[in-house]
């Protein structure tokens, strides 16, 4: 297969400062081992095939720093310049971008100028990979699309929809952290093998046998989250590495079995010849208009009101019993919730975890935050992002959003 001629432009300050607020250990691994994740990015999370890196540029403020994440180090600041040699040794051209004002360096404008210059090069670059969550880069993506070039955004946080929607591919912070750690990247966009291929056929048949047995023996409707959790435990990691045998999701894999008289709802599957439809467990009704207005612009997961508190409790339980790792936290919380019959995706849990970190209560904090602190920090972050996106909410609507998200009212 011909490799895609690619150019990578990394705003180090933007990406690293966002990652270290979510998972300090993996953020430092990202900065100290760029060659490892770059090698994986060559063949992972692609748009049109494996990449051949023709341009590798890292834009870094040599005087930049973040508060040191390890109090035992005796250092107050972690300077970006410490990581410069690692990127040089990985083949990056490091562009020094010192601060021009009190709050801004020149990285974004340098990246734009360099990318536009690359459009005029004799060599045609098929794909531009922009590693930055700065929505100021939106005009650049518009310009690249007009030139019929493929674009991939590596966003370390919840970037603005106007920025991410222009790209051909978005690599989220969850996927980036998995890439850095060398874990299988769980992404619904990644093409995977179908059940007819030899390496997945045996597991698919085991899947068919287990599901058929559970479905036939079930005395009533089966909770989809609990069923998926049980099958993961019995079939192993193959279900995730093949994204449910090439069907792109658990329910689609179930539907492929064509179980007789099978009926599905959002949370259950049942035999319509033996069971009635499950009774609705929702108590909250439709989301209020203020929450609906936030969903699309902020990417807010569409969870019903009663599902938010279990997510906070699961994350609090993880934080109090584990050394924090973001990818492990989202997987652990998803499986715990599935055991409780609560069907929440890893991406939704990761969204809450990021929001909690940016809201001021990261899970790696000592002492770890409890469920109420997590809820408060997450709601604060959602409302702060709404304000930054110029979504006007009254005080009553803000209280309504907090109530829907299961967060206490600070004025109560």
Would you say residue 412 lies in a domain? no
Question: Whole-prediction pTM value?
Answer: 0.74
> Are 296 and 219 in the same domain?
no
> Are 240 and 293 in the same domain?
no
Residue 72 neighbours by CB distance under 10 Å = 6
Distance between CA atoms of residues 399 and 409, nearest Å: 6
> Are 307 and 267 in the same domain?
no
> Are 99 and 246 in the same domain?
no
Long-range contacts of 374-379 (CB under 8 A, 24+ apart): 374/312, 374/315, 374/316, 375/308, 375/309, 375/312, 375/405, 375/406, 375/407, 375/408, 376/407, 376/408, 376/410, 378/312, 378/352, 378/405, 378/407, 379/405, 379/407
> Are 84 and 140 in the same domain?
yes
pLDDT one-digit tens code per residue, 91-140:
999 999 987 766 666 788 999 999 999 999 999 999 999 999 888 888 99
Would you say residue 229 lies in a domain? yes
Calculate the average pLDDT of the chain.
86
304 Cβ neighbours under 8 A, 6+ residues apart: 282, 284, 287
Distance between CA atoms of residues 364 and 150, nearest Å: 37
List, in sequence order, every residue forming a beta bridge with 51; answer none if it has no partner: 4
The last residue of a domain, from among 149, 181, 213: 181
pLDDT value for 60: 95
Would you say residue 277 lies in a domain? no
> Are 71 and 168 in the same domain?
yes
Would you say residue 61 lies in a domain? yes
> Are 249 and 351 in the same domain?
no
> Are 249 and 117 in the same domain?
no
> Are 49 and 83 in the same domain?
yes
Distance between CA atoms of residues 167 and 138, nearest Å: 9
| Structure tokens belonging to residue 341 | 């019959």
- Which 3-state string (H, E, C) describes the chain? CCCEEEEEEEEHHHHHHHHHHHCHHHHHHHHHCHHHHHHHHHHCCCCCCCEEEEEEEEEECCCCEEECCCHHHCCCEEEHHHHHHHHHHCCCEEEECCECCCCCECHHHHHHHHHHHHHCCCCCCCEEEEECCCHHHHHHHHHHHHCCCEEEEECCCCCCHHHHCCCCEEECHHHHHHHHHCCCCCCCCCCCCCCCCHHHHHHHHHHHHHHHHHHHHCCCCEEHHHHHHHHHHHHCCHHHHCCCCCCCCHHHHHHHCCCCCEEECCCEEEECCCCCCCCCCCCCCCCCHHHHHHHHHHCCCCCCHHHHHHHHHHHHHHHHHCCCCHHHHHHHHHHHHHHCCCCCCHHHHHHHHHHHHHCCCCCCCCCCCCHHHHHHHHHHHHHHHHHHCCCCCCHHHHHHHHHHCCCCCCCC
pLDDT value for 117: 96
Q: Which residues of the chain have pLDDT under 70?
A: 1, 101-105, 159-162, 186-202, 237, 248, 266, 279-285, 412
Number of domains in the chain: 3
The last residue of a domain, from among 153, 181, 209: 181
Measured in whole angstroms, the distance separating CA 80 from the mean position of its chain's CA atoms is: 24
Would you say residue 118 lies in a domain? yes
> Are 110 and 23 in the same domain?
yes
> Are 62 and 118 in the same domain?
yes
Would you say residue 410 lies in a domain? no
Measured in whole angstroms, the distance separating CA 35 from the mean position of its chain's CA atoms is: 22
pLDDT value for 114: 96
pLDDT one-digit tens code per residue, 214-261:
888 888 888 887 788 778 777 876 777 777 887 767 888 888 899 998
Measured in whole angstroms, the distance separating CA 339 from the mean position of its chain's CA atoms is: 22
Q: How far is CA 194 from CA 44, 249, 304, in A?
A: 18, 12, 33
Instruction: Supply the CATH number for residue 23's domain.
Output: 3.40.50.1010
Torsion angle, alpha carbons of 380, 382, 387, 388, to 10: 110
Would you say residue 22 lies in a domain? yes
- 91: domain range? 4-181
The last residue of a domain, from among 219, 238, 271: 271
Would you say residue 260 lies in a domain? yes
Residue 96: closest CA among 6, 12, 8, 19? 12
> Are 259 and 210 in the same domain?
yes
Cis omega before residue 88 (within 30°)? no
| Structure tokens belonging to residue 135 | 């929505």
Q: How far is CA 307 from CA 221, 281, 304, 363, in A?
A: 20, 11, 6, 19
| Structure tokens belonging to residue 361 | 């209560």
Distance between CA atoms of residues 209 and 202, nearest Å: 11
């Amino acid at each position: 297969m011909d490799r895609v001629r690619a150019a990578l432009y990394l705003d180090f300050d933007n990406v690293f400062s966002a990652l270290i607020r979510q998972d300090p250990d993996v953020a430092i691994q990202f900065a100290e081992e760029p060659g490892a994740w770059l090698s994986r990015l060559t063949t992972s999370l692609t748009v049109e095939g494996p990449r051949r890196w023709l341009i590798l540029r890292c834009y870094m403020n040599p005087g930049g720093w973040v508060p040191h994440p390890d109090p035992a180090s005796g250092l107050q600041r972690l300077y970006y310049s410490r990581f410069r040699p690692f990127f040089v040794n990985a083949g990056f051209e490091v562009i020094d971008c010192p601060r021009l004002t009190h709050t801004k360096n020149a990285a974004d404008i340098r990246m734009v100028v360099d990318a536009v210059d690359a459009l005029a090069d004799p060599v045609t670059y098929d794909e531009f990979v922009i590693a930055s969550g700065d929505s100021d880069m939106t005009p650049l993506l518009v310009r690249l699309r007009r030139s019929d070039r493929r674009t991939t955004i590596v966003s370390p946080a919840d970037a603005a929809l106007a920025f991410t929607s222009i790209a051909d591919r978005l690599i989220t912070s969850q996927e980036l952290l998995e890439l850095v750690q060398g874990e299988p990247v769980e992404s619904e966009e990644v093409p995977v093998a179908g059940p007819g291929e030899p390496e997945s056929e045996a597991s698919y048949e085991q899947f068919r046998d287990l599901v058929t047995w559970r479905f036939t023996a079930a005395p009533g409707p089966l909770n989809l989250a609990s069923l998926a959790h049980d099958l993961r435990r019995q079939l192993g990691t193959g279900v995730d590495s093949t994204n449910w045998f090439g069907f792109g999701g658990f329910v689609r894999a179930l539907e492929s079995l064509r179980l007789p008289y099978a009926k599905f709802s959002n949370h259950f599957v049942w035999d319509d010849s033996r069971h009635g439809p499950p009774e609705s467990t929702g108590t909250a009704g439709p989301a209020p208009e203020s929450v609906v207005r936030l969903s699309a612009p902020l990417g807010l997961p569409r969870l019903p009101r009663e599902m938010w508190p279990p997510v906070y409790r699961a994350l609090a339980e993880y934080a109090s019993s584990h050394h924090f790792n973001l990818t492990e936290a989202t997987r652990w919380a998803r499986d715990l919730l599935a055991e409780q019959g609560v069907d929440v995706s890893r991406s939704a849990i990761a969204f809450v975890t990021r929001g909690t970190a940016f809201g001021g209560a990261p899970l790696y904090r000592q002492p770890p935050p409890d469920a109420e602190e997590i809820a408060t920090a997450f709601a604060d972050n959602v409302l702060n992002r709404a304000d930054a996106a110029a979504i006007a909410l009254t005080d009553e609507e803000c209280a309504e959003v907090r109530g829907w998200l299961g967060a206490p009212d600070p004025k109560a």
